[in-house]
């Protein structure tokens, strides 16, 4: 299958928009999905954010909607024809921005609605009429109930990040929304992973779907070096600092399981001298955007995040990912480490395992990945035994996970001896040696430090509002 956009014979306005985006060739999911969507078949797509899947469904949808294009000012001539549902406000906003760019040379209108902000501007936009509506389920239902959104002429529905929509508990909302749509329609479902619940959803709402799969679900990129270290909770920060230093890691994501833990860890790492920012559901939209802009601009080294908060981020290729906490859902492990090692670049994923419940969570990951995970002992440089009677370099495991690593020292000052050089030299991998650059085509270029990027330049008018949006993800994160 050719990966050139020119082989698709997209209508000129769409081809022009794609050329303007600077895309040279299709990504694998685009090469697979676009021709299928162009035929009008239902699609079940296994793809993560960052694979180019927004264009994979938007471009063929827009192409098929071109027959409805018109410049009438009458709202009745612009009914909703395509509905794109996403689990989070930020994802909805990102997708809506992309759709707007692809449709910019057509007369098709698009809009986005999500909660947490005033409904009035959204209502006004809906009342003027839009062909493509991007929405989060809760707010869309509000608009349906207020009769601002009429969905009886919808021809296409996209359920994007379907697994996450179910995680957040959107299933009842989704079912209600789908009940408002005509039976005769095309449904496209995208999900990073295919749990039994997703398969059930697909079976009930998709008709004879074509499965489009680029990386097998639940598979992690082979370019990611994965390590699991046994570390007691109190030593995790020290372990993180040591790995960052030893590997010369310029920037990393640090994932934690709770909002509280997220804020606390970010503060502690900052005290440790690492430039750190936190991203979790209790931060206002404005704070989250600032944190993101600072990370993209290279002003912070570590972005500490919860799974849900990280879901909406257009940051897809960081040199390293730390799982400070083993994720509660094995599938989140795949999502988390999917942030590194993309597009053939090497990436590092480090998971700290601290006993207790973690062993069970690691075995869940093993089952999902269908491979054995070796939990390695974490050796701290400053704990290397110096001058013990038997000079025994006891491993972490030998010392017992719960014991204080310093208790192997015998109290008397050791005779001077050179520090062991057993530690591998910092990576000579050129990828780690150069500063992290956000992928050029996927995000706005990082501004130079002397010209800070206006924090809100990437977001739509909906998010640009000065209003602070509290608790973006109330249900989790």
Instruction: Return residues touching ligand AMP (CB under 6 A).
Output: 23, 26-27, 30, 49-55, 441-442
Cα 299 → chain centroid: 20
CB of 254 to ligand AMP, least distance (A): 22
The answer to whether 256 and 306 have CB atoms below 8 angstroms apart is: yes
User: What phi and psi, each to the nearest 5 degrees, are found at residue 106?
Assistant: -105, 175
- For residues 125 and 296, give the distance between their C-alpha atoms in angstroms, rounded to a whole number: 31
DSSP state of 375: E
Cβ proximity to ligand AMP: between 344 and 415 the closer is 344
Cβ proximity to ligand AMP: between 38 and 471 the closer is 38
Cβ proximity to ligand AMP: between 95 and 265 the closer is 95
Cβ proximity to ligand AMP: between 56 and 108 the closer is 56
CB of 9 to ligand AMP, least distance (A): 16
Q: Is residue 157 within a helix (H) or strand (E), and if so which, with residue range? A: strand 156-159
Residues 6 or more apart whose CB falls under 8 angstroms from that of 176 comprise 141
CB of 125 to ligand AMP, least distance (A): 23
CB of 41 to ligand AMP, least distance (A): 20
**Cα-based torsion angle of the residue sequence 419, 302, 249, 293 in order, rounded to the nearest 10 degrees:** -150
DSSP state of 78: S
Q: Residue 2: exposed, middle, or buried by beta-carbon count in 10 A (0-12, 13-18, 19+)?
A: exposed
Q: From 62, 84, 80, select the one nearest 15 (Cα to Cα).
A: 62
Cβ proximity to ligand AMP: between 52 and 319 the closer is 52
CB of 32 to ligand AMP, least distance (A): 13
The answer to whether 334 and 368 have CB atoms below 8 angstroms apart is: yes
Cβ proximity to ligand AMP: between 84 and 240 the closer is 84
- For residues 131 and 150, give the distance between their C-alpha atoms in angstroms, rounded to a whole number: 11
Cβ proximity to ligand AMP: between 338 and 477 the closer is 338
CB of 55 to ligand AMP, least distance (A): 4
The answer to whether 173 and 141 have CB atoms below 8 angstroms apart is: yes
Place of tokens 């970010």: 266
Q: Is residue 89 within a helix (H) or strand (E), and if so which, with residue range? A: helix 89-102
CB of 30 to ligand AMP, least distance (A): 6
The answer to whether 56 and 48 have CB atoms below 8 angstroms apart is: no
CB of 25 to ligand AMP, least distance (A): 6
CB of 3 to ligand AMP, least distance (A): 8
DSSP state of 328: S
Cβ proximity to ligand AMP: between 55 and 84 the closer is 55
CB of 162 to ligand AMP, least distance (A): 15
The pair of structure tokens assigned to 319 is 């040199």
**Residue 339 in 3-state DSSP?**
coil
Q: Is residue 38 within a helix (H) or strand (E), and if so which, with residue range? A: helix 28-38
Cβ proximity to ligand AMP: between 138 and 439 the closer is 439
Cβ proximity to ligand AMP: between 89 and 237 the closer is 89
**Residue 129, phi-psi category: left (phi > 0), alpha (psi -120 to 50), beta (remainder):** left
């Amino acid at each position: 299958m050719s990966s050139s956009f020119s082989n698709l014979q997209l209508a000129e306005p769409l081809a022009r928009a794609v050329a303007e985006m600077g895309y040279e060739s299709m990504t694998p999911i685009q090469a697979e999905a676009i021709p299928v969507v162009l035929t009008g078949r239902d699609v079940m797509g296994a793809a993560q954010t960052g694979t180019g899947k927004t264009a994979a469904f938007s471009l063929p949808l827009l192409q098929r909607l071109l027959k409805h294009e018109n410049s009438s000012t009458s709202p009745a001539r612009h009914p909703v024809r395509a509905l794109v549902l996403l689990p989070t406000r930020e994802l909805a906003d990102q997708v809506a921005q992309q759709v707007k760019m692809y449709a910019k040379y057509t007369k098709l209108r698009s809009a986005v609605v999500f909660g947490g902000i005033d409904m009035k501007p959204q209502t006004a936009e809906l009342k003027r009429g839009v062909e493509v509506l991007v929405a989060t389920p809760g707010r869309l239902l509000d608009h349906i109930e207020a009769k601002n959104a009429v969905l009886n002429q919808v021809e296409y529905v996209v359920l994007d990040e379907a697994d996450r929509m179910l995680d957040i508990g959107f299933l009842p909302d989704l079912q209600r929304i789908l009940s408002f749509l005509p039976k005769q329609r095309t449904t496209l479902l995208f999900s990073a992973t295919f749990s039994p619940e997703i398969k059930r959803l697909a079976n009930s709402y998709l008709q004879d779907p074509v499965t489009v799969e680029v990386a097998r679900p639940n598979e992690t990129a082979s370019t990611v070096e994965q390590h699991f270290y046994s570390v007691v909770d109190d030593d995790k920060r020290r372990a993180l600092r040591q790995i960052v230093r030893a590997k010369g890691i310029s920037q990393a994501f640090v994932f934690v399981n709770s909002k509280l833990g997220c804020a606390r860890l970010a503060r502690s790492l900052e005290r440790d001298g690492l430039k750190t920012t936190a991203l979790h559901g209790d931060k206002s939209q404005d704070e989250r955007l600032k944190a993101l802009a600072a990370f993209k601009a290279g002003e912070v080294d570590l972005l500490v995040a919860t799974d849900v908060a990280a879901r909406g981020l257009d940051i897809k290729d960081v040199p390293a990912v730390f799982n400070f906490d083993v994720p509660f859902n094995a599938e989140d492990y795949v999502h988390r480490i999917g942030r590194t090692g993309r597009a053939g670049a090497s990436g590092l994923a480090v998971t700290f395992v601290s006993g207790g419940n973690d062993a069970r969570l690691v075995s869940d990951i093993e089952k999902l990945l269908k491979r054995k995970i070796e939990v390695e002992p974490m050796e701290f440089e400053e704990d290397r035994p110096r001058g013990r009677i038997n000079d025994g370099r006891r491993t972490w495991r030998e010392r017992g996970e719960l014991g204080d690593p310093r208790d192997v020292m015998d109290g008397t000052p050791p005779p001077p001896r050179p520090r062991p050089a057993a530690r591998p030299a910092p990576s000579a991998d050129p990828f780690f040696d150069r500063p992290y650059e956000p992928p050029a085509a996927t995000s706005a270029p990082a501004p130079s430090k002397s010209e800070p990027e206006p924090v809100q330049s990437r977001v739509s008018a909906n998010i640009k509002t000065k209003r602070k949006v509290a608790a973006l993800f109330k249900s989790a994160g």
